[in-house]
Structure 1
Amino acid sequence: MPKLLPFPVLFTGLVVGLLLLITSQFVTSMKHLDKVINKSSHSSDKVRVALLLEGPTYDQGWNSSALESMTELQKRFNFSLEIANNIKPEQITKVAEKYAANDYDLILGHGLIFSDPFTDVALRYPKSHFVSFNGEAPHPNQTTIRYDMKPAGKLVGILAAKMTKSDKVGYIMVDKPTEILQVEGFIEGVKKESPKTSIVVGKVPDFNDIEGAIHTTRDMISQGVDVIYTTGDSFNLEVITEAQRAGVFTIGYIADQRYIAPDYVLASMTQDVRQCYRIIMEQFIQGDLPNGKVMYGLAEGVNQLSQFGHMVPDDVREDLERELQNLIPSRGSYGG
């Protein structure tokens, strides 16, 4: 018969065993907590976001769309949001520095004007991430969003070529480098659909040159152009109205502009600012926002062809839908 151990020995062994078990569970818990605290995703923290606007928040256009988008996304992602609007070019660096110095995680500049100042500030505040539009982004904590407009322009060019009766179509552009790719896409689309169709490209110096845009419209109409794609958000109302008076079709831009002339606006190439910011915030919260240049376009739903006007035949609509599906897989890289 085996010899029984004294009770104090058994008790001591039991206590030591329990202590070892508790210690092991504590170490495991601490390792798990460390992983949660130090993971790259921002989902467990209250992310601090600043939105910088060069204009007013009530313009019913570019700036107000950004504010509305971010306010809507704030409810979904539960981040804190600070707005700075009507910022002059010479103020951007100081404003961006203020937010970066106060440990804001994400600083958004809604436009090209923010790109260069952000490049300067980002180098000194590596813990903040800076996002702007249509500029450069040389630093690891910097992203610039570019609209991939060449495929969009090609789709519109095909529509214009299908709807012209005079075999003459027009394109009114703002004379800026960022507009060139869409013009090239438009020309490709027209020539793909109808090689015999001629293209008249009219340039105005800036987005607010309403008189210049009206003059360009009249000049195109006098040359026999019967479909005009107008890409100046600020002067599209006047261009569409002028074309309507002459019985000329137009294609709108940025917003769905069929309401301006329901019998003459064939469709609009829209830019969904909400979708753009939705992608940015989803990627940032998940820790997946790329640095460098990022292209958003048809594939991401940021560029969209609106519903067609009643004058566009069903077969043309079906052809455009097929062309859209062909264009989407041709998308390139999204960052770096």
Structure 2
Amino acid sequence: MILLLILFLAGCQWFPGYEKDVDVGLLLETSIDDRSWGQQGYQGLQAVQEEYGVDIYYKEEIRSYQQSAEAVEELVQQGAEVIFGHSNIYGSHFRELHEAYPEIDFIYFNGQFAAENVTSLNFDARAMGFFGGMVAGEMTKADQVGLIGAFEWQPEVEGFYEGVKYQNPEAEVDVALLNSWENTELALMQYERMKGKGADVFYPAGDLFAVPIIEQAEADGHLAVGYLEDQSSIAAQTVLTSTVQNVDEVYKLAMERYLNGSLPGEALTFDFSEGAITMGEFSPVVPEEFRDNLEEEVENYKETGTLPQ
């Protein structure tokens, strides 16, 4: 009986909900209340705490390597054994730091660098962009769509363009890349330029400028596709749908692997099939028949990994 009890207790770590005495730290490029990527990171950290009962710590506005080095040391002194870096910038920072902290597991987003104690988490975002583009292509009345992105490497930017053209070959897609997640002023300037050329549906694919663009589109009587979060609550009629990255789910998946001893120290990719990416609520203005068709296409993609052609 004692032997069976010991074996049972030893195996508890493999069951969902198992709690281990672990401290988890988080580095944020922005803040926990930026209404965008930073806030999602903090919510992911909270989800890990709620799911696994760990202690959590976080550092905001960590952007330079020196700031990262100091923050990591502070988190380690506080007892952190796992440190999430909620941005691709932490890939290069962790590349320099990980050998000095071999007992720490470093996890960051949107990069390809990995090491024995460094894992990167990546969203395969082309498909979410494609389905968002299908909605925009269907709903534009002027056959003019505005895409305001941050960087050329964003797979959702390419996917959105492809989705618009698939759904509406006659539509023109005006693309502006800001080389910044945060430059709201420049994003609004590009919005005004695109509006002046006739665009009536917009996709603001950038962390901090998505909400201001949606609010301006609502004020102007135009439409938009939300980014990162379900942004229907901002403007239910204006936001046709949203391309949602469920960051909290990815945090929990990564933490589960850590607790089970299966965090690989490599680049991991997550998509619709893992529940890491979903489409948001549809605006009432989106026709039901089109919405049903899009949902079927999403389900088909989850099963086959193939986008509409």
- TM-score under structure 1 length normalisation: 0.79
Contact 1:56 1:64 in 2 (8 A): yes
Moved more, 140-149 or 92-101: 92-101
Unaligned 5+ residue runs, structure 1?
1-24
Indicate which of 38, 46, 54 corresponds to 1:79.
54
CA–CA separation in structure 1 for the residues paired with 2:225 and 2:29: 28
Q: CA deviation at 1:40?
A: 9.9
Question: Which stretches in structure 2 are left out of the alignment for 5+ residues?
Answer: none
Deviations 1:183-224 (A, max 9, x none): 211122122222222211122232222222222112222222
Q: 2:135 aligns with which of 151, 159, 165?
A: 159
Which secondary structure state, in structure 1, belongs to the residue aligned with residue 278 of structure 2? Answer: strand
Deviation at residue 248 of structure 1 after TM alignment: 1.9
Residue 27 of structure 2: aligned partner: 52
Distance 1:171 1:270 in 2: 17
Does 1:126 find its partner at 2:102? yes
1:259-298 maps to which residues of 2 (within 5 A)? Answer: 259-298=233-272
Aligned position for 1:69: 44
Query: Equivalent of 1:96, from 43, 48, 72?
Result: 72
Code of the aligned partner of 1:122 = H
Conserved in 1, the CA contact under 8 Å of 2:37 and 2:228?
no
Q: What secondary structure sits across from 2:258 in the alignment?
A: helix
Decide which moves more: 141-150 or 238-247. 238-247
Match 1:186 to one of 144, 155, 160: 160
Q: Which amino acid counterpart does residue 170 of structure 2 have in structure 1?
A: K
The answer to whether the 8 Å contact 1:52/1:87 transfers is yes
Question: Where do 1:188-267 residues align within 5 Å?
Answer: 188-267=162-241
Deviates more, 1:201-210 or 1:148-157: 201-210
State whether residues 101 and 125 of structure 1, in contact with CA within 8 Å, keep that contact through their aligned partners in structure 2.
no
Q: Is the 8 A contact 1:134 1:145 kept in 2?
A: yes
> Which residue identity is paired with 1:265?
V
C-alpha displacement of 1:331: 4.8
Per the TM alignment, residue 314 of structure 1 is displaced from its structure 2 partner at its CA by: 0.5
Task: For 1:155 and 1:251, locate their aligned partners in 2 and report how far apart those are by CA, in whole Å.
Answer: 10
Deviation at 1:241, TM superposition (A): 3.1
Question: 2:47·2:251 contact (CA, 8 Å) conserved in 1?
Answer: no
Please tell me whether the aligned partners of residues 97 and 121 of structure 1 are also in contact (alpha carbons under 8 angstroms).
Answer: no
Q: CA RMSD in A?
A: 2.9
Aligned pair in 2 of structure 1 residues 99, 243: CA closer, same or farther (>3 Å)?
A: closer
Deviation at 1:143, TM superposition (A): 0.6
Q: Which has the higher contact order (CA 8 A, sep 6+)?
A: 2
Amino acid of the structure 2 residue aligned with 1:197: A
**C-alpha deviation, 1:62, in angstroms:** 2.8
Q: 1:54 and 1:182, CA in 2 relative to 1: closer, same or farther beyond 3 A?
A: closer
Aligned to 2:289: 315
Count residues in correspondence.
Answer: 300
Q: Contact between 2:57 and 2:75, CA under 8 Å: does it hold in 1?
A: no
Return 110-119 or 90-99, whichever deviates more.
90-99
Instruction: Work out which of the two has the higher radius of gyration on C-alpha atoms and give 1 or 2.
Output: 1
Q: How many Å separate the matches in 2 of 1:156 and 1:169?
A: 12
Equivalent AA in structure 2 for residue 70 of structure 1: L
Quickly say closer, same or farther: Cα 1:69–1:263, change in 2 above 3 A. Answer: same
Letter in structure 1 aligned against 2:282: F
TM-score normalized by the length of structure 2? 0.85
SS in 2 for 1:239: helix
Distance 1:222 1:280, change over 3 A: same
Pick one of 76, 101, 106 that aligns with 2:82.
Answer: 106
Q: Is the 8 A contact 2:34 2:208 kept in 1?
A: no
Q: CA deviation at 1:323?
A: 1.3
CA distance in 1: counterparts of 2:219 and 2:34, whole angstroms:
27
Sequence identity of aligned pairs in percent? 29
